[in-house]
Amino acid sequence: MFNKIFTVLVVVIGTAVFVLADEPADKKAKAVAMADEIISMRSNLAKTFIKPDTEITEETFKKVCGAVGKRVKEITEKEGVKIRHAATKYRNPLNAATPEEAEALAQFSKDKKLKETADTVEKEGKKYYRYTKPIFVEEACLACHGAKDKRPKFIIEKYSDDKAYDFKVGELRGVISVMIPIEGGEK
Ligand code: HEC
């Protein structure tokens, strides 16, 4: 009898712990940490490697947005999450905002007090908790995202469909979304 009650208790508590660990609040904390890491990484790298007299080459890119891309890949592979950058004024066409993302961008652009949004999305038949944060332009970003005719040569050559220029400090550059799978969300 005692054994049975004990077993039931273990199962009930075990399930509760499992479910609690998977609460939206837990997912949010994880997503916030990842989004913040990427946003501040890019900002810090740009500040570190771009000085007024720096000659901007592809090597500089590899130390800033290139390094960020690598870190994003590393996190997604290690943590089993998806991370996406999206912009209406994009550089890499893979980051072109979908109509839904364009709406989120318009919202962030209009309301500077809006710091984040969260919802759920379905991708390839799987459900995800999605956390989205805006990315703003800083002085150091202008070396590559500033005036159209001042863009470094490698960017003009490599990105024929580039739209990510003519930004001003403080403007919305794009968004980052972290998507965490919802267990049991498979269809
Ligand atoms: C040395 C040049 C360089 C600097 C400085 C730079 N970027 Fe970029 N950025 C690029 C390039 C090139 C890409 C396209 C990368 C790719 O092919 O995916 C890019 C892509 C991005 C993207 C992904 C969306 C898109 O348009 O494809 C974001 C967001 C972004 N940059 C924001 C910033 C911000 C914010 C700063 C400043 C903190 C910054 N960048 C500084 C060169 C730069």
pLDDT band at 135 (very low <50, low <70, confident <90, very high): very high
Ligand 1 neighbourhood includes 137 CB (under 6 angstroms): yes
H-only helix segments in 50-175: 58-63, 65-79, 99-110, 142-145, 153-158
CA–centroid distance, residue 100 to ligand 1 (Å):
22
Which residues is 135 bridged to in the sheet? 174
Fold for 24-181, please state it: Beta-Lactamase (3.30.450)
Q: Which of the residue ranges 24-28, 103-107, 146-150 would you say has the lowest mean pLDDT?
A: 24-28
CA–centroid distance, residue 187 to ligand 1 (Å):
35
Across the range 69-93, mean pLDDT stands at 98
User: Model-level pTM?
Assistant: 0.88
Q: Could you tell me which residue, 10 or 56, shows the higher pLDDT?
A: 56
CA distance 46 to 74: 20
Tell which residue, 115, 140, 174, has the closest CA to residue 44: 140
Size of the chain, expressed as the number of residues it contains: 187
CA–centroid distance, residue 26 to ligand 1 (Å):
30
Ligand 1 neighbourhood includes 88 CB (under 6 angstroms): no
Enumerate the domain spans of the chain.
Answer: 24-181
Provide the pLDDT for residue 24: 81
Tokens of 21: 């660990």
Provide the pLDDT for residue 104: 96
Average pLDDT value over all residues in the chain: 91
pLDDT reading at 180 higher than 70: yes
